[in-house]
Amino acid sequence: MRSDLRELALGTLFPGFIGSFEPPDWVVRLAAEGLGGVVLFGRNVDPRRGDLGVAELTGQLRAARPDLLVAIDEEGGDVTRLDAAQGSSLPGNAALGVIDDVALTQRVAAELGVRLRTCGIDVNFAPVADVDADERNPVIGVRAFGPDTELAARHVGAWVLGQQGQGVAAAAKHFPGHGGTEEDSHLTTPVLRDSLEQVRRHALPPFRSAIKAGVKVVMTAHIVVPDVDPDSPATLSREIITGLLREELGFDGVVITDGLDMHAISRTIGHAEAGVRALQAGVDALCVGGDTVEPGRVEQMAEAIVDAVESGRLSRDRLTEAADRVRALAQWCRNADQARDSLPAASIAAKQAVRAHGEVTLTAPPLVLELWDGPSVAAGDVPWGVGALLAAKLPGTEVVRLTTDDSDVSRVLADHPDRRVVMCVRDARRLPWQVRAVQAARAERPDLVVVDHGIGTPSNVLGEHYVLAYGASRVTAEAACRLMVD
């Protein structure tokens, strides 16, 4: 009896693993015992071997159990795992939203789906269905399709259709909507202070669109919505998961948590208790993918789930339902039509999204100032900016990285008195030090070119000569570079 419960409990768990391009022994062992899936991160992608190495890794994982699900967080734009070493080959959602061509969004998602399937990946934690509703939000921003609810809904549905048409399950996130918060759930427990009616009107339509498109997975947010459930974050809230998502929106697929290692969970009630409470709330799959994952923690979570069933806290029927949904998803992935679409939609989208204003053409090697504020936890430390690309096209280009602790713009400009200056910014709308740096540079060099890799930078900061890249993906940086040099 207890061994049966352990197999069911393992079937709900999706851990990552650290420091290896091959599956460690404990992952292989747990996979054979019934593990639901694994989550790959940039740390598991060998930059020397790229997609081929990932395909070999997923093949090794499935040798342990053929129906093991392999998931990844490959949004494109700022959040990439496959391209973590060089920056994403896809434009991000903000760029696609600016173009507002749903057919193109579907093609981009299909193009990604082909690549993911070739790598042996079953589930992609995309699209972001959050609406960029609060410019102070530190974790969504360019990851969303935009601040307009209906626009976001159109593109979320298109993304689901494109990706799932290639046999890769999509995961709309972060339910019921993380875009209207002011904090990052990787670091704390954000609060969405909208009323339930405001949530229904502004945050839920993209999720409705995803469900209408047949999305297979919905990922929860570790945010509190007091007007719905003042006591628990959405991940642990029966009112939100069963009430809103299941009953009101009619979703009957797999509900997966955002990473339980995030501080909103791991530094409050902890992984094991969170796993039990999430299952009680109506969640089916427990993502434990971050840097805190280890075999002992996964075993602890499985043990806590078994204990909860035996003590009566969690019904066996609820646990069985969760594990069955995960198995059904694995079966869909094995049977899905894997048609191929090789249209170069990513490059087309990047070219359409990136916009120039004023005179941005460079005729000589410039001085490029890249303003770095450190990566978000969601995106990780992925290369961005146009400095390296301009240096390749215009040999002699000088690239200087400035941070909030070392942002003496006047000193750097004085060292390069005869060069035109290009300044790369990201998240300037919420980082006053970047605004000050741009204004200081423009005061000394009126022909300054600002390359904005974020969204929402005020026009008085951008000035007269600027390029809007709508995200930090490699492909949009390449398009921005072409506008300035080609």
The answer to whether residues 45 and 19 touch, using CB atoms and an 8 Å cutoff, is no
How does pLDDT run across 60-112, given as a tens digit for each residue? 999 999 999 999 999 999 999 999 999 999 999 999 999 999 999 999 999 99
Instruction: Write down which residue in 315, 344, 373 finishes a domain.
Output: 344
Residue 111 within any structural domain of the chain: yes
Q: Compute the distance between CA of residue 164 and CA of residue 160 in angstroms, rounded to an integer.
A: 6
What integer pLDDT is reported at residue 341 of this predicted model? 43
Whether residues 34 and 110 fall in one domain: yes
Whether residues 229 and 308 fall in one domain: yes
The β-bridge relationship of strands 13-15 and 37-40 is unpaired
Residue 349 within any structural domain of the chain: no
Q: What are phi and psi of 370, to 5 degrees?
A: -105, 120
Low-confidence ranges of the chain (pLDDT < 50): 337-343
- Among the listed residues 286, 426, 325, the one whose alpha carbon sits nearest the alpha carbon of residue 369: 426
Whether residues 390 and 337 fall in one domain: no
3-state secondary structure (DSSP) of residue 458: coil
What integer pLDDT is reported at residue 338 of this predicted model? 43
Whether residues 310 and 380 fall in one domain: no
**Helix residue ranges, H only, 268-407:** 271-281, 295-311, 316-335, 345-353, 387-393
Q: Which residues pair with 402 in a beta bridge?
A: 371
Whether residues 325 and 387 fall in one domain: no
CATH number at residue 456: 3.40.50.1700
Residue 478 within any structural domain of the chain: yes
**Mind telling me the catalytic residues?**
186, 258
Residue 262 within any structural domain of the chain: yes
For 52, residues 6+ apart whose C-beta sits below 8 A from its C-beta are none
Whether residues 121 and 210 fall in one domain: yes
Q: Which helix (H) or strand (E) holds 208?
A: helix 205-212
Residue 338 within any structural domain of the chain: yes
What integer pLDDT is reported at residue 292 of this predicted model? 60
Whether residues 234 and 321 fall in one domain: yes
What integer pLDDT is reported at residue 372 of this predicted model? 81
Q: Compute the distance between CA of residue 200 and CA of residue 204 in angstroms, rounded to an integer.
A: 5
Q: Could you give the angle at which helices 25-33 and 2-10 cross, rounded to 10 degrees? A: 120
* Number of domains forming the structure of the chain: 2
Residues spanned by the domain of 308: 2-344
Report in angstroms the alpha-carbon separations of 280 from 7, 55, 73, 372, 467: 18, 35, 25, 42, 49
What integer pLDDT is reported at residue 394 of this predicted model? 87
The string of DSSP codes covering 5-23 is HHHHHHTTEEE---S-SS-
Whether residues 289 and 434 fall in one domain: no
3-state secondary structure (DSSP) of residue 172: strand
Report in angstroms the alpha-carbon separations of 312 from 13, 145, 242, 296: 20, 43, 19, 24
Residue 150 within any structural domain of the chain: yes
Whether residues 30 and 167 fall in one domain: yes
- Among the listed residues 412, 398, 407, the one whose alpha carbon sits nearest the alpha carbon of residue 431: 407
Whether residues 338 and 372 fall in one domain: no
**Angle of CA points 205, 324, 204, to nearest 5°:** 10
Q: Compute the distance between CA of residue 428 and CA of residue 321 in angstroms, rounded to an integer.
A: 46
Q: Compute the distance between CA of residue 410 and CA of residue 232 in angstroms, rounded to an integer.
A: 49
The residue type at 478: E
Instruction: Write down which residue in 325, 344, 363 finishes a domain.
Output: 344
Length of the chain: 486
Instruction: Write down which residue in 278, 313, 344 finishes a domain.
Output: 344
What integer pLDDT is reported at residue 339 of this predicted model? 41
Whether residues 320 and 427 fall in one domain: no
Residue 70 within any structural domain of the chain: yes
Residue 99 within any structural domain of the chain: yes
Whether residues 338 and 441 fall in one domain: no
The string of DSSP codes covering 290-314 is STT--HHHHHHHHHHHHHHHHHTSS
Report in angstroms the alpha-carbon separations of 399 from 320, 370, 395, 446, 472: 56, 7, 11, 19, 17
Bond before 127 cis per omega within 30 degrees: yes
CATH number at residue 145: 3.20.20.300
